[in-house]
Structure 1
């Protein structure tokens, strides 16, 4: 039998404590922990359930306010001219909104609002204020005076949101180039729309263009020259009672548009004007038969083909019969004409025969090479596509040779002419600054340098002794070509409605700029004289060159004004 060992007092006490139940205080502590965990779980469940309900319910007033604030806060970069002058910028303005649920008396609110904004005194606004909506717009872009007056009314439920609004310091001066924005500060035309398409709209959508400064976007135009072109064009419309006009100044070495005006234009600060169909951009967004200025392209084509030389001559003694059509001259010399005489006397007969000597296919290929048969590629969205003859046969080619039967934009015409005088290099037009090095990487040779030299000579000769004599500018070697195109109404040419143009370049010994002026339906300046291009668009061109040449750094050279350009042919 095993011996029983004595158990010590300490061991017995430890055994008893192990078997004894826990005191009440320990049990209470554990219960509190479990209860706290349960409460936290219930709180989180409640929050989760509330979030689900909020997601399924209608947006609250705060949500409406935040949504509205986000939609109007997008900023835009300033647009500046080539010299840093501001063309478009953002300014802060206030817009009026209402929270109908907080409006105590709709009639009182309507009376107060109408006292400041009478145009809002209508049933539509009353229905909005009487609704249960959380947020409604009442009036965007308030004036400071309107905001103060509305604020002083102290009407509960009315508030103001600060947003960006576009401001154009020059008003209509460069409206068709700069363009405009809608009430949400989004570009809808001109370079404003071009900037959006180049990435600004994506930045705005991602929230990277809200209330932060942005680098200005420089344009190629010179605001000083732009003002001159628009000013002279406005005077011409009044002097010659024309219904519309276009003026373009283009850098022949870079393709930069230095100035471009189309009248009637609009003030981009007044959006309602932009909706007027008569105020569209005729310079790049309209296509027209350009008339005799196209004869410059025909002469260049014929000479560059090698099938016509400056020693050739063409019989213009009698009209040219082609099928049922008779080609005649406006002021016919009724004799044999040299190439130079065909150009400066603007002979339709001689020009048509020159084209026939080169060939229809040669003409078609040449027009394509000059970019006159396809849509002009440039940053401006408002660019029209040329209208070509349905069948480019011999008759169509003859009429095209003197500017009928094909409709192009004035800007296209200026770009193609730059290639005739700059040595034969076709350079795409641009509304952004471009260096000569950048232009060289884009240029395409379309005619030989020798052909270009002959064209400079002919353009200058036309101003010295042809139809462009009124385009002379003291101190400057100006060259150019007049153009008159009868307008078409109901499918027929109308003899008493014309579109006149003068296409020029200066200084002709080393051209830097092309200047094109177009007047739609000009009338005689006074009774008893004609309304030909030589009497209206030529002097307008002279006035423009006289004013912009010093601005653009072209120095005058005073000497023998009868001199022409020396060439060898």
Structure 2
């Protein structure tokens, strides 16, 4: 830095020569230096003030903008909503195989309160209780007059209820938009759909999540925006499902049963066209789960088709006969020793009545002989029987795509002995679900190949591994047909549809062990049309009882069979199965040739 001297020599000498005062030069330079220093200091101060002013302006703008956003937005419930967490509101529809809506979304509103803004909390509470009788007036008043700044009143309200609350006119009562799950068909297919509820919630949005059934099993798919809101297509046929529920409900009441289930399955694709469990519920207003210590099967939430693990009795006999034929041990006409009782150690196997000392394999199935079936099991052997039932999927939970199916784990003997094999051959000592039974009968119907039961629409046959030869499956179909034409399922005959099936009546086990003397599980497992099977139909009644022909009847032939017969009669036309009518003999006409 170059500094100018206060008394420059050249100017001092020149001033003296002119007779001027040299001190004036020094004063002039000093004043100039002070002026320069003041100007520099002023510039520095102005720069600092400008920067500080800029900071203050930015701060005030930020605070003002945030206050504006808060003033124009609705408050969020702190306990129900996490800041920064987005709420996915969109959820794909669920449709049946024809594209008809089973589950969709519906716009409604929620009701909440901000007590500090309320004008008359007591009057508001009185009127809210009138609109919503389930609310507690004293609790509302306590919340409205306390320290709470936010309060949920109702998560979902109807348009009529919204208008009634609006008419109260209290500024502290506010509404938030909601998107809820709607099941337009009410209780139809309720156990399949399951239901949905709210996940993350704010006053302006709520996340819809599945809580049971298909809604929970495919929750990730239904919530994924990447799917473009493409609906989830089920194998169910809404028309068939509604008709099946109506028929089964009527049959359950007529037979005085406490519960019932039915399954209609395509034997080539594994598609479940209809699955019913009664009693049922409305997923729009899903009831609470049963409390601890409560028998789950009493709850309407209990899905008997996939969760109900029961001994299914004589319906298993056809598996034993088909396996024996498949192994080449017998054919349909092979005569088997049926003298009884058949003793194994201290145990004795008996028939419902004395059928004679010997019967053919076909007759064993037609008359439902426990002794004859046990004799076949002895020939088959323990390991072969177990492997065969495992191939049929009887030893593990079914792959049916609803979350409840995982709980339908079969109950198997701890020690699979020869006695176990004998009792399992006629459906005792092993407990499975109706869905297991449907898959087993589908294998017999389609020529001996396993098909996995599915609730999703398929685009063609989905055959799995071969579990028996075509010859054995065909023999099984013929035997099932004779059960209807000559045996215990005579009430199952439907003109034009050639039903084949097998009855099963199993004593119901007690929770503490043993069996009831007067309670049974009655099942009819069937296929139709038997000459070219397309569908397997399972009907099971829990504790049926009907008074007929002078006595009380509980067996499947008197209870489950008539219900299944009515189902075939009503559902077959809906499924497009054309009846096969035998041509009548033309009488009183003589054909001649020219």
The match for 1:381 is 403
The match for 2:314 is 292
The match for 2:435 is 411
Unpaired segments ≥5 residues, structure 2: 1-9, 11-28, 67-72, 200-207, 291-295, 585-594
Q: Is residue 72–residue 163 contact of structure 1 (8 Å, CA) maintained in 2?
A: no
2:545 corresponds to 1:523: yes
2:217 corresponds to 1:194: yes
Q: Is residue 342–residue 350 contact of structure 1 (8 Å, CA) maintained in 2?
A: yes
The match for 1:542 is 565
The match for 1:112 is 127
The match for 1:478 is 499
CA offset at residue 186 of structure 1?
A: 1.7
Q: What pairs with 1:348-497 in structure 2 (closer than 5 Å)?
A: 348-383=370-405, 384-436=408-460, 439-440=462-463, 443-489=464-510, 490-497=512-519
> For 2:243 and 2:558, how far apart are their aligned partners in 1?
20
Q: What pairs with 1:209-288 in structure 2 (closer than 5 Å)?
A: 214-272=229-287, 277-279=298-300, 280-288=302-310
2:162 corresponds to 1:147: yes
Q: How much is the aligned-residue C-alpha RMSD, in angstroms?
A: 2.9
- Of 25, 29, 37, 2:51 maps to 37
> For 1:543 and 1:525, how far apart are their aligned partners in 2?
19
Q: Is residue 262–residue 281 contact of structure 1 (8 Å, CA) maintained in 2?
A: yes
> For 2:517 and 2:337, how far apart are their aligned partners in 1?
26
The worse-fitting range, judged by mean Cα deviation, of 32-41 and 342-351 is 32-41
- Of 325, 331, 343, 1:303 maps to 325
> For 1:112 and 1:240, how far apart are their aligned partners in 2?
48
| TM-aligned CA distance change 1:73 to 1:103, over 3 Å | farther
Secondary structure of the residue that 1:534 maps to in structure 2?
coil
The match for 1:12 is none
| TM-aligned CA distance change 1:44 to 1:273, over 3 Å | closer
The match for 1:552 is 575
Per-residue CA deviations over 1:396-449 (Å, capped at 9, x if unaligned) read 111111001110010011011101121111011110101225x14xx1111111
CA offset at residue 195 of structure 1?
A: 1.8
CA offset at residue 62 of structure 1?
A: 2.9
The worse-fitting range, judged by mean Cα deviation, of 122-131 and 461-470 is 122-131
- Of 53, 62, 66, 2:75 maps to 62
CA offset at residue 71 of structure 1?
A: 7.9
Q: Is residue 483–residue 489 contact of structure 2 (8 Å, CA) maintained in 1?
A: yes
| TM-aligned CA distance change 1:382 to 1:449, over 3 Å | same
TM-score, normalisation: structure 2: 0.83
Q: What is the count of residue pairs matched by the alignment? A: 527
- Of 175, 197, 200, 1:160 maps to 175
Q: Is residue 332–residue 347 contact of structure 1 (8 Å, CA) maintained in 2?
A: no
CA offset at residue 46 of structure 1?
A: 7.8
Per-residue CA deviations over 1:101-152 (Å, capped at 9, x if unaligned) read 2224332332232232232233333332223333221112112211111101
> For 1:45 and 1:270, how far apart are their aligned partners in 2?
51
2:513 corresponds to 1:498: no
> For 1:377 and 1:73, how far apart are their aligned partners in 2?
29
- Of 330, 338, 343, 1:316 maps to 338
Secondary structure of the residue that 1:473 maps to in structure 2?
coil
Q: Is residue 80–residue 87 contact of structure 1 (8 Å, CA) maintained in 2?
A: yes
Q: Is residue 101–residue 131 contact of structure 1 (8 Å, CA) maintained in 2?
A: no
Secondary structure of the residue that 1:92 maps to in structure 2?
strand
| TM-aligned CA distance change 1:509 to 1:50, over 3 Å | same
Q: Which has the higher Rg, Structure 1 or Structure 2?
A: 2
CA offset at residue 305 of structure 1?
A: 1.9
Secondary structure of the residue that 2:508 maps to in structure 1?
strand
| TM-aligned CA distance change 1:252 to 1:82, over 3 Å | same
> For 2:110 and 2:228, how far apart are their aligned partners in 1?
22
CA offset at residue 392 of structure 1?
A: 0.6
Secondary structure of the residue that 2:265 maps to in structure 1?
strand
Per-residue CA deviations over 1:146-170 (Å, capped at 9, x if unaligned) read 1111101111211011101222121
